[in-house]
Structure 1
Amino acid sequence: MGSFWARDVGRPGMGGPSRALGCRSLPDASRRPSLTAEPGLVIPRGQPVSFRCQGPPGTELYRLKKEGAEQFMDLPAAEGGGLFSLETAPNTAGNYSCLYKIQTAWSEPSNTLQLVVTGLYEPPSLSALPGPNVTAGQNVTLRCQTELWFSSAALAKDGETVGFGSALHTGPGSRTDFLLAAVSDAQQGRYRCYSFHGAASEKWSSPSAPVELRLTGEAGRPSQPPSSPKLPHCPKDLLQGVPEARRLEEEEAQRGGMESGPWVNLREWRQ
């Protein structure tokens, strides 16, 4: 018997009349399973994604559930080892968790993973201000622009999401500015951005064309790059602009370098 989708009628449990158990031990389903995804959680529309649910020895059945859906997917442990394969589409985007079953006992749900599906809207454009070739210690703005209105944007570096920002409405379109303060080696790389609506944060546009950020040298005096702790992963919360970023923007606007707009200050980056 392979995997299949069935209708969800509530959380599984131990149904039927009670019986005397005598000295028989109850099945142990007290451990929560773990859920992982390959090749990742940001997947282009039409591409496959695999969820692996891992339970303890003795697991007989795995169940994959999508938040808000009335259906679930069951897979006998002997057939797939808890590996569920899906082809991404707009309706597959969302939050997933899994359970396992030992005899008649079901576990608690696993950790929750949010699957993001890209390619659902036209791509935005991404540009670097004042340019993609910068000196150490210089401030750079990555501007994500769309022709249609979107409420939010995501910034990715070398394929990994590193920041989120709220968008400014500019006529029929929108834009989000990501500030990279005091650029150092850690910020070099290939950047892309995505647009999405806040109410559907798991449904993204196609990625923008890449912008390659390169460090070209020192700016007339020895630069003092700040320490670079890792950027915490923030799949839900939007990073907010800071007063210093707003001041830098206003100074740049007075010099005619850019329009006034919202800022997202990305000071901490992954090494």
Structure 2
Amino acid sequence: MLSILAALLCMELCLSQRINTGKQTLPKPIIWAKPSSRVTKGTPVNIWCQGPQSASAYQLYFEGSFLSKAKFFIPQMTSNTAGRYYCFYQSGELLSEHSELLVLVVTGMYDTPNLSVHPGPDVTLGENVTFSCLLEGGTSKFFLLKEGEPNHVQQGHGNKKAEFPMGPMTRAHRGTYRCFGSYNHHAWSFPSEPVTLLIPGDEGNTGLVSTDPTSSLVYWEDNLPTKESGLQKGSALWDHTTQNLIRIGLACIVLTALICLLAEDWLSRKRDKEGNNRSASWECRRRLSLQCSLEEEQKDAISMGGLKAIPGPGAI
């Protein structure tokens, strides 16, 4: 029993060491797309995943499937290749955390929308304006982007048209805007013509105006609901739950072994005590029987002596 207990304790120590080793985390890899995360239909794009030099293998995750590549080349961007990507790498026996989410959007899937601003592009500080994006293709989902600010994206809904109120105006609002129409998050229309908000005194600041609708390499993926992020959290929670269950299971096994050991010791003591009691009882009975036999023999001897002392008939 002691050898079994020692083996269980050794197994617990080994598994605990393995669990602690599994807790070591590797830094997240970096994922990006070239030339951009918004790509015109038919344009090639590369997805890169970069980790440390110790990385031995990479995996790219795309909408439910894994691709074992550090660089993934898309020869022609289509609606089938648009979607959500992330990657991770392996170093030794450890897997890294998932990279940040990369959302690839294909543009040029529908007609070009028309973007306008009311009351006009020349605004004053404190004024309110409204952008209006119109697309005759029948879509009901629209996006308004400010060039040069990757995370500055607004989403609107409407029947062929969406309005984006904005204000009161500050100098942070100045810049160039475009809009897109879409039927989903990953397939957009052609970009609208740019509309530039100007505030008095900014006319000479040409650095604020950009004419490249794909100048932003990343955009608003942090604002999208992502089931992948849920999977990452669920995976981490599952790992912690598994580790806790292993520990609880090992503790139960060791506790059971200790209880069995104590029970066996108690039973052994009980058997020894019962054996001693039986031996004492047998010895007592043996002595009592021997004493009784001696008493019987003495009585018989006395009886025989009394008979010899009595004279027989005719004795004088």
Normalising by structure 1, we get a TM-score of: 0.59
Superimposed CA distance per residue, residues 180-200 of structure 1 (whole angstroms, 9 cap, x where no aligned partner)? 212122212111001112xx2
- Which of 156, 163, 178 is residue 164 of structure 2 equivalent to? 178
Q: Does 1:61 align with 2:45?
A: no
| Equivalence map 1:251-262=2 (5 Å) | none
| Native 8 Å contact 1:120 1:205 kept in 2 | yes
Q: Distance in 2 between matches of 1:205 and 1:168?
A: 16
Of Structure 1 and Structure 2, the greater helix share is in 2
1:29, distance to aligned residue in structure 2 (A): 7.9
* % identical aligned pairs: 35
Q: Distance in 2 between matches of 1:64 and 1:160?
A: 27
- Which of 180, 195, 207 is residue 211 of structure 1 equivalent to? 195
Distance 1:235 1:123, change over 3 A: farther
User: What residue is the counterpart of 1:247 in the other structure?
Assistant: none
Which amino acid is the alignment partner of residue 122 of structure 1?
D
Which amino acid is the alignment partner of residue 177 of structure 2?
Y
- Which of 175, 193, 197 is residue 189 of structure 1 equivalent to? 175
- Which of 29, 32, 37 is residue 37 of structure 1 equivalent to? 32
User: What residue is the counterpart of 1:74 in the other structure?
Assistant: 68
Q: Distance in 1 between matches of 2:181 and 2:140?
A: 8
Normalising by structure 2, we get a TM-score of: 0.52
Structure 2 residue runs of 5 or longer lacking an equivalent are 1-20, 202-218, 226-316
Q: Distance in 2 between matches of 1:30 and 1:153?
A: 40
User: What residue is the counterpart of 2:113 in the other structure?
Assistant: 124
Of Structure 1 and Structure 2, the greater strand share is in 1
Superimposed CA distance per residue, residues 50-104 of structure 1 (whole angstroms, 9 cap, x where no aligned partner)? 33323333222212120134xx4323xxxxxx34333422111111111223356
| Native 8 Å contact 1:32 1:110 kept in 2 | no
| Equivalence map 1:230-269=2 (5 Å) | 233=220, 235-236=223-224
Structure 1 residue runs of 5 or longer lacking an equivalent are 1-25, 76-81, 218-231, 238-271
Superimposed CA distance per residue, residues 229-255 of structure 1 (whole angstroms, 9 cap, x where no aligned partner)? xxx955427xxxxxxxxxxxxxxxxxx
Residue 177 of structure 1 aligns to a residue whose secondary structure is strand
RMSD: 3.2
Which amino acid is the alignment partner of residue 189 of structure 2?
S
Distance 1:236 1:108, change over 3 A: closer
- Which of 68, 75, 81 is residue 92 of structure 1 equivalent to? 81
Which amino acid is the alignment partner of residue 68 of structure 1?
G
Residue 133 of structure 1 aligns to a residue whose secondary structure is coil
Distance 1:125 1:101, change over 3 A: same
User: What residue is the counterpart of 2:157 in the other structure?
Assistant: 167
Distance 1:99 1:113, change over 3 A: same
